[in-house]
A and B are shown apart, each in its own frame.
Chain A
C-alpha cells in the first residue's frame, strides 16, 4: 500500500500552522493588549501568563517555514519571494517582540523601559498584521509564470489582504483576552472578559466580511461553495456548511460564556479560550475547503509542489516519532504552569 505522502505532509503542515495560530496567537494577542495595561504591574501580570511558554509557541512558526521548505520546496520557492516584504516585516516584528520579553526586565532607565514595552506591543501588532496580510495574499492568489514567482514587490498589498490582516489582529486579540480570562484574577480578569467580548464581536464581523470578500474576488472559491452571481447551489453548499455553522455556534457559546455574570453559572475559566480555538478551527477548516488541494492557490497542488517521496517518507519517520513526543512534553510544561498568575509572588501551581 502506497501512502499518499504529499497529502499526509499537507495535513501535518496544516496542523502545524494551526498550532502556531492558536498558541502564538494568544502570545501576540496579549502583546497587543499590554497597550491598555493600566500599570507596569498589570503589564507584568499579562506577560507573566505567557513567559514560560512563548518560546515553544513560536517554534511552531518554524514548522511553517521549515516544514514548507522541507516538504514542499516548490511552494516555498514561490511563496517566500512573493511575500518578501511582509515576511521581512513579520520577522523584524517578531525579533523585537521576542527580545522584548527579556529586555523589558533588564532595562534600567524609564525611556528604555518604555522603548521595550513599545517594542513588545508594536512587534506583536505588526507581526499579527503581516501574518494576516500574507494569508490574504495567499487567498487572492500569487502571480506565477514558468513555475516561479513573477509578480511585483507589492502584489500582496490590497484592500482585501489588509482586511484579512485586521481580522487576524482582532482574532489574536480574542485569543489573548481569553487566555487572560484563564490565567488571571480580579480586575484584570474582569476587564479581559470585556476585551474578549469586544474582540469576539469584531471576529464575527471580520469572518463575515472576509468570507464575502473572498467569494467576490475569487470566483473559483465561490463556485466551490455553490455561490455564483445569480444563484446559490445548495447541493454544493450543504456538505460544506458545517464549518461556518460550527463557527457561528462557537461564537454564540463564547458570547454566552463571556456575558454570564461571574461567580454564577457554570462557565469555567478555561472554556472561553477553548471556544475561541473552536471559532478559529471552524474558520480554518472553511479556509481548507476553499483552497484544498492547492498549496500555492490556484497554481500548484500539494502533489505538484511536494518534495520527492523518499524525502517525505524519511521525514515522516521522524515526525511520526517526534510529534507525539513534542505534544506530550508541551502538554506537560503547560500543566506545570497551569493555574492563575498572582501579583507579587510569581507563578503558582
Chain B
C-alpha cells in the first residue's frame, strides 16, 4: 500500500490540564473519505485541529504527505497549509467580507493571479459547493445555516486542496440538505481526488459516505474500519455507539440498499 496521506504516531494532546489524546495512532490513506467518530468530548475536533496544524501536540508526531509537522520551516508550513482546506463547524466565514470575497481571500493570499481570474475561480468554487450566484454578494450574516455551510465548503476548496478537513459538515442541516451535502462531498472527492477527513455525529453520513471510520475514545483510536465492521467490534464503547437506535436505523436503511 502507498504511503498514507496522514500518519499519526503516539499523539498526545492536552487542553489545559486535561489530556485529550494519549498515545493515539492513526493512518489515513490518500483519496480516502475518513470519518472520525466518537462520543461528545472524546476529542474528535481536537484531533482535527491537530491534523490541520492548529494545535501543537504535546508529544508524538503527525506526518502530512510524509512531512513531520512538528519540525516544519515557515515556508514548508505555508506550503502545507496551501494543500489543505478546513471547513469549521460554524463556518468561520469572515463577517466583514462578502461570500465571494471570503472564497477569493485564500486565492489572493497564496497566488499572484489577477482579480478577474481570482473571482472566476472563486465563483466556480461557489458553484461547486452548490451556492446560487446571487449568494456571492451577500454577507455571512445574511446567509441561512445551509448556505453558510456551503460557503464555508467553497472557501475550504478555494486552493484546490489535497486534504479537506470538515468539522461536523451536516450538523444543523435539515435531512434533505444533509443528504445533499453528503452527496456533494462524495462528488467532490471523486471529481477532485481529495482526501477527506470529516468529524461527524450523523449516523447517515457514517454509514453512507465514509470509507473508513476511526472511532475515538479514551484518548486513542478504539476501532477503525467501515461502519459495518465497527458494529461487530469487541470494544464495548464502539458497540454501544453503533448499537444506539439512531445508528441502527441508519444501518438498516443502508442494508436495504
> Is chain B found bound to chain A in the same assembly?
no
Interface residues of B (CB under 8 A from A): none
Q: B-contacting residues of A (Cβ < 8 Å)?
A: none
